[in-house]
Structure 1
Amino acid sequence: MSDTPPVEPVVEGEPAPAEPASAEPTPAEATPAEASAEAPAQGFGDAAGEAPDATEVEFSDELSRAESDAAQARADVAALTDDLQRLQAEYLNYKRRVDRDRELVRENATWTALAPVTEVLDTIDRAREHGPLEEGLRAVAEQLERVVAGQGLVRYGAPGDAFDPMLHEALSHIGQDPDVEVTTCKVVARAGYRLGDRVLRAAQVLVVDPAPEQTESQRAE
């Protein structure tokens, strides 16, 4: 007899009998663990080496533009601050100059108005050199002096004052005087006037110089 198994007749319309499942998995049916082990591992270096995406590039560009704008804004603020300080200094200098010119104009106007009055006072001073004034004339003289002083005009110059070329006009030297140590106003020919620190009219004076020191031989003689 033959060892070939008998072939069962196939009935048309019925499914063929399923073959028994194999106990060993095929290569295509690898387990998840094996698939994970066989997959190439991606390290940190691979991720870092990737090129940045478009969002990161756009953000970097915007940050650079913002830093540039901020630097330009700081430069503009510094320039405007310098301009403001320069304008403020120019304004202060202009204000001082205007105030000084205004004060000068006021002083000139005051002197122009009172100069004739001072000439009258000069005549009264010469009259006083010859004796006391009469009561009526004395009252007028005192009133004129009060008017002049009320406008800030200060009279100066008296015998015995140290000579100051900024305040006095020396008309003449009249010799030496052993009682003085510096050049001194001996006679006041005409009083001077000043308004504040400004001399409007120098006092006209006659001056004397100090006598030179004598040697012991000269003193003995």
Structure 2
Amino acid sequence: MTSPNPGSEHEGLVIRDNRRIDPETGKVREGAGKGAGQAPPAAPAEEPAPASGAGSGAAADLAAQLAERTADLQRLQAEYANYRKRVERDRVVVREQAVAGVLGEFLPVLDDIGRARDHGELTGGFAKVSEALETTVSKLGLATYGTKGDPFDPTVHEALMHSYSTEVTEPTCVEILQPGYRLGDRVLRPARVAVAEPEEPAAGGTGSGSEAGEAPADPEDN
């Protein structure tokens, strides 16, 4: 009995040595571990996309916070602007009060200078000093007022004398006894004046008897 060909049993069978270390040389083989049947590395898993509802809610929260912070900043800015205006206004008032207090002490001196000028005594060095003083107080805002013929105004005039005159049609300052002084809109001292009013109308008497409209007498009894 003839035995079959020994090589026929392994026909189509291929044997590959995939060992990493060569048993004969003891060295690492090139390309070891990269077999044809080795599966490629798996791709990293993708992160799931956030849900649309969650994203819109976060955006709405950010918008609300931004609006709140903006409103806070606007409120702080308005409060600071009001604070600056109030401080500036108070500073102006304090300055005016201080200047008015100082200028008020100079009014008697200015009155003496005016009387000396009226009497022709304002000459020499005294005249120069007086002019310098008047110029200085004018720069600080002090102004005089009160002129003969001005209508009488009790808010800025002080009547020291009173009379009647046919030459006026309303209460009028006919003489300035002392000039008034004001600092801006503030009156430091009212002008002291003599006031004349229109002449009083003559008092008319009423007639008597029949002219006064007496009732007629009753007829005599028969």
TM-score norm. by structure 1 comes to: 0.58
Deviations 1:51-103 (A, max 9, x none): xxx94554431331121121222122113212321221222122122122223
Deviations 1:99-134 (A, max 9, x none): 22223312322333x234224225426xx3xxx525
- Tell me if the contact between 1:155 and 1:194 (Cα under 8 Å) persists in the aligned partners: yes
Distance 1:168 1:121 in 2: 21
Deviations 1:122-180 (A, max 9, x none): 5426xx3xxx525xx4453575255224321322223222111122101131x211111
Deviations 1:164-216 (A, max 9, x none): 1122101131x21111121011222222222333221111111111235689x
Change (3 A) 1:207 1:146: farther
Distance 2:98 2:174 in 1: 35
Please show how residues 143-158 of structure 1 align to structure 2 within 5 Å: 143-152=129-138, 153-158=142-147
Q: What's 1:48 paired with?
A: none
Paired residue secondary structure (1:151): helix
Distance 2:107 2:62 in 1: 68
One-letter identity of the residue aligned with 2:130:
L
Q: What's 1:92 paired with?
A: 85
Distance 1:142 1:203 in 2: 26
Name stretches of at least 5 consecutive residues in structure 2 with no aligned partner: 1-46, 204-222
2:158 matched to 1:169? Answer: yes
Q: What's 2:173 paired with?
A: 185
Change (3 A) 1:116 1:171: closer
CA RMSD of aligned residues (A): 3.1
- Tell me if the contact between 1:157 and 1:188 (Cα under 8 Å) persists in the aligned partners: yes
- Tell me if the contact between 1:122 and 1:191 (Cα under 8 Å) persists in the aligned partners: no
Change (3 A) 1:142 1:205: farther
Q: What's 1:133 paired with?
A: 120
Range that drifts further, 162-171 or 103-112: 103-112
Q: Paired residues, what number?
A: 155
Range that drifts further, 56-65 or 69-78: 56-65
- From 197, 202, 216, the counterpart of 2:190: 202
Q: What's 2:116 paired with?
A: 124
Please show how residues 207-218 of structure 1 align to structure 2 within 5 Å: 207-212=195-200
One-letter identity of the residue aligned with 1:109:
V
2:101 matched to 1:115? Answer: no
- From 75, 89, 96, the counterpart of 1:103: 96
Name stretches of at least 5 consecutive residues in structure 1 with no aligned partner: 1-53, 216-221
TM-score norm. by structure 2 comes to: 0.58
